């Protein structure tokens, strides 16, 4: 299998990233692995898509850091790759990181992925679904039973009404965001509500979401593959994230601390409700953020934390995920265009 991972920038990847876990596992399983920055994608005159990528090491790669050393070092092997010589393109970049001067890159990977479909490459996650699933608006398409009440607006007055209707405690965040950036909890007094709304609204719609008291105890990220929780040797690919200090946010990038999760029946029930839509939309790999008995977010393009989940559980989850990708290539080889990418992306 020849697999290309599209990331924000090869040189900024880190050894603990989920992408590095997956790419290292693919190398160890004997596949030709390539890594390419989203800004280095190219469309060629003959309609092919590709770019000058970095080739990963072979099966004897010792660690995730060793994989990164091989693709980031001065001696990194650079190789021109094109869709006619690839089996899989996996979009693993984070559009929300592409702001300012690189705003052009936010949707670039998805658009190139859509073109790649015309050449028989398996593209994960399905790029036509990603074009809208990367927005938190996608979350609102799931049943109300699994998510807290929220509104999406740029109006201070509407948010003030929502705040008053929900006992004076709400969470505000941008429609496009990640890692807990620009996420605020507004308490009963709401003295700074207008300033927060105006700050977020300068560059985004504002999501106002009911505050869940259970958030004080952290959240759990549960990884979904092919519309089901990823389980290896009876252990769920999940990580519990607990807020650090006085900050209510449990995101690792905001100071959250990882703990061994307890995936209970309620979490499995939530996953069973979410799973069918992920399958329908061709979203092969996703992360569910769960607080109490509700979902608070669904990450559909670059969900992180798989490395921590594997370390806490003592399981190589990356190996299990790549095995499922191999099956998709097997199906594609035998069925070709008779099975659409949106179907093959979540086919067991």
pLDDT, tens only, 17-38: 999 999 999 999 999 999 999 9
* Nearest by Cα to 308 from 268, 250, 269, 248: 250
For residue 255, the model assigns a pLDDT of: 55
Angle of CA points 105, 107, 109, to nearest 5°: 80
Tokens representing residue 129 in the block: 């679904």
CA 316 to CA 224: how far, in whole Å? 15
Count Cα neighbours of 78 within 13 Å in the Cβ-side half-sphere.
Answer: 9
As a residue count, the chain comes to: 348
pLDDT tens for residues 225-266?
Answer: 999 999 999 999 999 998 765 555 445 544 578 999 999 999
Q: What is the DSSP letter of 64?
A: H
Q: Is the pLDDT of residue 317 over 60?
A: yes
Question: CA distances (Å), 109 to each of 49, 81, 234, 303, 342, in order?
Answer: 11, 15, 35, 16, 17
Domain ranges of the chain: 2-124, 136-143+214-315, 149-211
Beta bridge partners of 5: 35, 90
pLDDT band at 151 (very low <50, low <70, confident <90, very high): very high
* Nearest by Cα to 251 from 305, 173, 187: 305
Q: Is the pLDDT of residue 269 over 70?
A: yes
pLDDT tens for residues 88-124?
Answer: 999 999 998 887 889 899 999 999 999 999 999 999 9
Q: pLDDT: is 202 or 87 the higher one?
A: 87
Cα torsion angle, 149, 153, 154, 155, sign:
negative
For residue 246, the model assigns a pLDDT of: 55
In the block, tokens 């008995």 appear at 293
Q: What is the mean pLDDT of the chain?
A: 92
**Strand-pair category, 32-37 with 2-7:** parallel
Q: How buried is 138 (Cβ within 10 angstroms: 0-12 exposed, 13-18 middle, 19+ buried)? A: middle
For residue 248, the model assigns a pLDDT of: 52
* Nearest by Cα to 11 from 66, 69, 60, 51: 69
Distance of CA 307 to the CA centre of its chain: 13
Does domain 149-211 fall under CATH 3.30.1490.20? My reply is yes
For residue 254, the model assigns a pLDDT of: 47
CA 286 to CA 280: how far, in whole Å? 13
For residue 78, the model assigns a pLDDT of: 97
DSSP SS3 for 296: strand
Q: pLDDT: is 9 or 244 the higher one?
A: 9
In the block, tokens 């979540």 appear at 346
Angle of CA points 59, 62, 67, to nearest 5°: 80
In the block, tokens 């061709």 appear at 282
- For the chain, where are the alpha helices, taking DSSP H only? 18-28, 64-72, 108-116, 127-133, 156-165, 193-201, 265-280, 306-313, 317-335, 341-344
* H or E element that contains 216: none
Does domain 2-124 fall under CATH 3.90.1300.10? My reply is no
| Record: fold of 136-143+214-315 | D-amino Acid Aminotransferase; Chain A, domain 1 (3.30.470)
Tokens representing residue 32 in the block: 């030709």
């Amino acid at each position: 299998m020849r697999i290309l991972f599209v990331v924000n920038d090869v040189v900024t990847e880190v050894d603990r990233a989920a992408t590095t876990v997956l790419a290292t596992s693919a190398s160890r399983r004997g596949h030709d692995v390539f890594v390419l920055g989203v800004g280095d994608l190219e469309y060629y005159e003959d309609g092919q898509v590709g770019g000058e990528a970095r080739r990963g090491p072979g099966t004897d790669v010792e660690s995730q850091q060793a994989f990164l050393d091989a693709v980031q070092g001065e001696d990194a092997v650079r190789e021109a790759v094109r869709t006619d010589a690839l089996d899989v393109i996996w979009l693993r970049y984070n559009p929300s990181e592409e702001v300012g001067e690189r705003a052009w890159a936010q949707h670039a990977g998805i658009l190139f992925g859509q073109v790649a479909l015309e050449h028989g490459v398996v593209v994960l996650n399905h790029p036509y679904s990603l074009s809208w699933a990367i927005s938190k608006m996608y979350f609102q398409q799931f049943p109300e039973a699994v998510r807290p009440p929220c509104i999406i607006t740029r109006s201070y007055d509407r948010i003030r009404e929502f705040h008053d209707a929900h006992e004076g405690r709400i969470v505000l965040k941008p429609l496009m965001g990640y890692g807990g950036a620009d996420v605020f909890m507004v308490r009963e007094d709401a003295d700074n509500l207008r300033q927060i709304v105006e700050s977020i609204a300068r560059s985004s719609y504002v999501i106002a979401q009911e505050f869940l008291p259970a958030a004080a105890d952290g959240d759990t990220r549960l990884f979904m593959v092919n519309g089901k929780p990823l389980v290896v040797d009876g252990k769920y690919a999940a990580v519990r994230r607990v807020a650090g200090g006085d900050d209510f946010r449990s995101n690792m990038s905001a100071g959250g601390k990882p703990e061994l999760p307890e995936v209970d029946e309620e979490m499995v029930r939530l996953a069973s409700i979410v799973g069918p839509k992920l399958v329908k939309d061709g979203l092969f790999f996703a992360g569910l953020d769960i607080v109490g008995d509700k979902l608070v977010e669904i990450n559909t393009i670059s969900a992180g934390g798989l490395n921590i989940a594997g370390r806490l559980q003592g399981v190589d989850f990356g190996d299990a995920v790549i095995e499922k990708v191999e099956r998709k290539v097997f199906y594609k080889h035998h069925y070709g265009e008779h099975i659409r990418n949106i179907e093959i992306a979540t086919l067991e």
